[in-house]
Amino acid sequence: MNAFRVGLIGLGTVGQGVLRVLQRNAGEIAGRAGRRIVVTHAAMRDPARLRDCDLSGVQLGTDPMAVVNAEVDAVVELIGGISPARELVLAALQRGKPVVTANKALLAEHGNEIVESAGRNGAQLAYEAAVGGGIPIIKALREGLAGNSIDSLAGIINGTCNYILTQMTAKGQSFADALADAQKLGYAEADPTFDVEGIDAAHKLTILAAIAFGMPLRFEAVATEGISAVTAQDIQLAQELGYRIKSLGIAKRNSLGVELRVHPTLVPAGHLLAKTDGALNAIRVHGNAVGQTAYVGRGAGGDATASAVVADLVDVARLQGADPRHFVPYLGFRAEALRDKRALTFAEIESAYYLRLRVADEPGVLRAITSILAELDISIEAILQKEPREHEDATLAIITSQIPEHRCNGALEKMLQLPFVRPGASRLRVEHFE
């Protein structure tokens, strides 16, 4: 049987990884796909740049549309961003060519258009590498858990944030110092906004929630908070209260609609997500039949992400020429079965909360603060009082019961009006995963 020919758009870290994995594991891959899978065409931005892979037999160029138009059996898009990636992916699909992509931003923001085009043209669309790097979470949700109604999922889906918070926990570093280390190691970009403000994780959560809940992709509905306001003191106090702080993407559904949120979160220290450190990713999924399942692994890196790209290519090669009705649905549900769902705002979501207050060291402070919580019918699950050093204020850390955000905000506003409470309080959400 003839080899399955691949056109590769992008020869950066992941693109080179795809070539290495296809060459290193050629025998196993051919055994699984039923034929050899080879890259025959590739487009790159800088032909002069040295690359850590064998490019013999690959027709190279700088025009990505030439790859789309070439005699290839599938197009792999690895350049990222919205444009020209969107135009290239749509052009390939309009020609009926399967597309494999790792582009979470493109899928989150324009995925509904892309899915519609794939269906209209009978072309395969695969994107395992868009979420979780080498973790097969897309396949797990679309296929392995297809017999379940998914209640919720939560995960560490941005390795940069996880590395920064791990450094702050392990070394007591400030956010700024931990970020600088992440940039030196290549975990964070020179402009880290997409990572540390939760945008990258929101893109990934958009994709996971669509598959889990059978809904269109709704990136604009994800409520997002970054980690830049988390302090070393918050990290330390959380530890003393029995928690770790992690940046999580969380999707839940209830009778009111769906919660789609990304934010720093206190997680019980014994939980799997609390123990996932460094640049690793971890995702917990709860289905009504299987219960809790968990997926942990490298969320980025050339060969790890290439592993997911190649797995998609194996699936695409197996189904070449098949009736499109036999494809796994692009978002896990048939197009006619997708249902839009109301997305709850932060103000509507219930959560437990961690509050940190800096207060004057004088009698009656604790009584006044707990009185405010009592007036608003907010229970205290835990409280920690740190005595001041000389000439400093005292610190109070409180874990509340589960309450709507507007009640928490109302209580915090009243507390900050007390004469002995200083500006600069901290408020973070707490998840117990019960």
Burial class (CB in 10 A: 0-12, 13-18, 19+), 1: exposed
The residue-averaged pLDDT of 218-242 equals: 96
Contact 282, 162 (CB under 8 A): no
At 151, the amino acid letter reads: D
> Is residue 229 over pLDDT 90?
yes
pLDDT of residue 132: 94
The whole-angstrom separation of Cα 183 and Cα 204 is: 22
- Gyration radius of the chain over CA positions: 24
pLDDT of residue 389: 76
* Domains of the chain from N-terminus onward: 4-134+302-337 (3.40.50.720), 137-298 (3.30.360.10), 347-430 (3.30.70.260)
Q: Which of 367, 348, 351 is nearest to 359 (CA)?
A: 367
What SS3 string covers 6-53? EEEECCCHHHHHHHHHHHHCHHHHHHHHCCCEEEEEEECCCCCCCCCC
- Cis preceding-peptide flag for 47 (omega within 30 of 0): no
Global pTM value: 0.96
Pairing between strand 4-9 and 74-77?
parallel
Contact 156, 282 (CB under 8 A): yes
> Is residue 321 over pLDDT 80?
yes
pLDDT of residue 193: 95
Residue tagged 């350049």 (tokens) = 79
Q: End-to-end CA distance of the chain, in Å?
A: 52
Whether 184 sits among the annotated catalytic residues: the reply is no
Q: Which of 413, 423, 429, 432 is nearest to 373 (CA)?
A: 413
Burial class (CB in 10 A: 0-12, 13-18, 19+), 421: buried
Q: Which of 204, 246, 252, 341 is catalytic?
A: 204
pLDDT in tens, 378-389: 999 999 998 887
Percent of the chain's residues with pLDDT above 70: 100
pLDDT band at 356 (very low <50, low <70, confident <90, very high): very high
